[in-house]
A = this chain, B = another copy of it.
Amino acid sequence: MTKPVYSTPDEVEAVFYEAFMRCDYEVMASLWAEADVVCVHPGSGAIVGYEDVMRSWAHIFSNAEKPDIQFLVGKRTDNEDLAVHVVAEEIASAGGPASVVLATNVYQKFDHGWFMVEHHASLVQASSEGHTLQ
């Protein structure tokens, strides 16, 4: 498969959340760098490496109703080949209450465009004193 070319971090991010909502494994697999990437799902340890990270998304997608996700980028720290976004996510599945999640998404520019290299997501507990950037 020839990977699509993403020309900005925001473009990768938009495609990431679309793929997440549609439980679209092929698109999710297209936007991560085939490198030493890191993914932390809420409450979990670090999954390291493209193949293991992809296996985790396949597992999530095989068990999930397609979720509805609202996301808001609260902070961008970008330079010419590295970008860090702090994102508030509100994730709702059919019938259930929405979960509020905070994510740090990291993108890196390679010769063939921008790719995701890290997604670190954590659940915001209802009793939390912090806020969700909104």
* A residues apposed to B, CB below 8 Å: 36, 38, 40-48, 56, 74-75, 77, 79, 81-82, 84, 86, 88, 100, 102, 104, 106, 108, 117-118, 120-125, 128-133
The one of B43, B48, B74 in contact with A75, judged by C-beta atoms closer than 8 angstroms, is B48
Question: Taking chain A's interface residues, is the majority helix, strand, or loop, or is none over half, making it mixed?
Answer: strand
Q: Return the chain B residue nearest A130 by Cβ.
A: B45
- Please state if B118 and A104 are interface contacts (CB–CB under 8 Å): yes
Tell me the complex Cα distance, A18–B104, Å.
Answer: 24
- Please state if A86 and B46 are interface contacts (CB–CB under 8 Å): yes
- Please state if B45 and A124 are interface contacts (CB–CB under 8 Å): yes
Chain B residues positioned under 8 Å from A41 (CB to CB): 130
